[in-house]
Structure 1
Amino acid sequence: MTATLIPIRQGRPPSLDALMALVSQDMHAVNRVILDRMQSQVPLIPELAGHLIAGGGKRMRPMLTLACARLLEYPGTRHHMLAAAVEFIHTATLLHDDVVDGSGQRRGKRTANMIWGNGPSVLVGDFLLSRGFELMVEDGSLRVLKILSHASAVIAEGEVEQLSAQRRVETAEAQYLKIIDAKTAALFAAACRIAAVVAERDAATEAALDNYGRYLGIAFQLVDDAMDYASDAAVMGKDTGDDFRDGKVTLPVILAFARGTTEDRKFWRDAMEGRRASDADLAHATRLLQDTHAIADTVARARHYGQRAIDALSGIGSGPARAALVEAVEFAIARAY
């Protein structure tokens, strides 16, 4: 793959500040919906849900819904409830994922499953997913319901496929890209696409915003893959090397395995199958990733998809909204540096 490189921003590093400022007032409305709809007469539900929802996440997906609506100059308020629905879908998947992965930390805090156990985490995830669908139904658009319900199904398929590929170091790059397109990029794409629906724009605009979100989501996940071996817990919100110890075959591992010697490949097989999981093994894995340029090439692929996301906005809107959406892509890539 030949990577088209995103130009380096002059002056300050890219951030989400412009995006957050753009949608600040709208996010207040979204947060009110979230806080209202996460309530229940069963006290454990808002307690557990609040632990994750208030856990310091950037809420990037609902912000994208709001920013895309602003890009299209949508004057109404339907996007507030739908952005909340997007966040509920995302939060539900996080709760379920942490149970499946046995994760102990997310966003620098103990995961809900570590505090309350697996059962409550799964059930509260189901509750939040149901709340999200209630919001979609209240919106009344079958088109929106179709987009978000399809995304929910695709996310689940992606997670199952990733589970099936776990510890299989021979996983092909194309298969892995298909997995992250489903488990990560699908919700980014849907979050952006529904803005075109509420703004009553044509199919071409829907498709363009879908592409923007999808390519941003892929870039975002690829950078996360690289950062698992080249960052720290303070940046990642989880322990460095979690993917390695869990036997997750991510793109850096796929590239390093393909480029390695016979001895290197034996190491990767042993590591992904759980036989090499010490700190020394992680250090050796990181050296192999660096020697084969697997981390650098993963970031290069992320930059390629980031540029495709920016290109998807060509001819749609202008001004602060478009600039904020472009900078969101630049921020997603810059996290790797």
Structure 2
Amino acid sequence: MLEPIGLCAAEEDVYRHLVALRTAGVAELAEATGRSAAEVTVVLAALTERGLASGGDPGYVPAPPSVSLGALVRRRQADLRDAELAVAALAEQYRTAGLPSGVIEVISDGQAVRRRFFQIQEAARDEVRSMVVPDLRVVPHRQNHAERAALRRGVRYRALLDRRALAGPEMAADVRASLAAGQQIRVVDAVPVKMMIVDDETALLPLHGDRDDSPASLLIHRSGLLSVLISYFESEWERGYPLLAGPGTDDLVESRPGDLDELDRRVLALLLSGLTDQAIAGQLGMSARTLHRRIRQLMGKAGVDTRVQLGWVAARKQWA
């Protein structure tokens, strides 16, 4: 039973009897185990060397199993973890052995990935494109100091954001701060993979797209593959909705074709509440003529001719 942590059958047998007897000599253990005195002497020497027993004939005592065997278990667990990492490294080497040199660079170590993540942004001259997934782990958004520095020196940043990422802790505040710093951000329902493209020169993306906890990454240099990644980003960017800072401290607004601005929403809410035009204009601090023009614009956006129809469309489109 204890062979997995390095004890042979004879060592386990003698140790178990020593634990049961609490103290014993060679002759007593030989009689209890049915082994020769010479074999028991050799086994006790091995147990003493391993820290599982102490003393000497005729008074050997066992080390506490929870301490001595626990240390062996932890050592074997560490060995198994090292072996697992070695197997993973060999598997990765096998996987990438045929990749063209100079085009694709595989980075396995988490610290190395973080270092490259910052380096390629620090080297950016014109533009950084990024695709952002929920639950960033290797480099959380607030730790990306290279982004802020690049924005300050005039590098254009465009980020395509998975809508689910907005539910992350303090993410809305972070997005507002990025928008205020000059970054352009659009949102889509889902981003399939996190990615960063710098200056049409390099792209950094995960080696394992389905494992968020793996830091292993691919650094793609200028090539046909990079051109495909750039085209993919641009096509996704075109279908994304721009994010804008809303009126509240943490509010974000998706700008969609035909959407209403904040004043339009206030006009519509007051109109649907049953107030007269004069009361609405007074609450909003505008003239009746300006209010009527706003209402006509709202009916134009809704594609209707009457205020009753406007109310129906507003409810269907969730404008108010």
| TM-score normalized with structure 2 length | 0.21
Structure with greater contact order relative to length (CA < 8 Å, sep ≥ 6): 1
Q: Which has the higher strand share?
A: 2
Greater Rg over alpha carbons, structure: 2
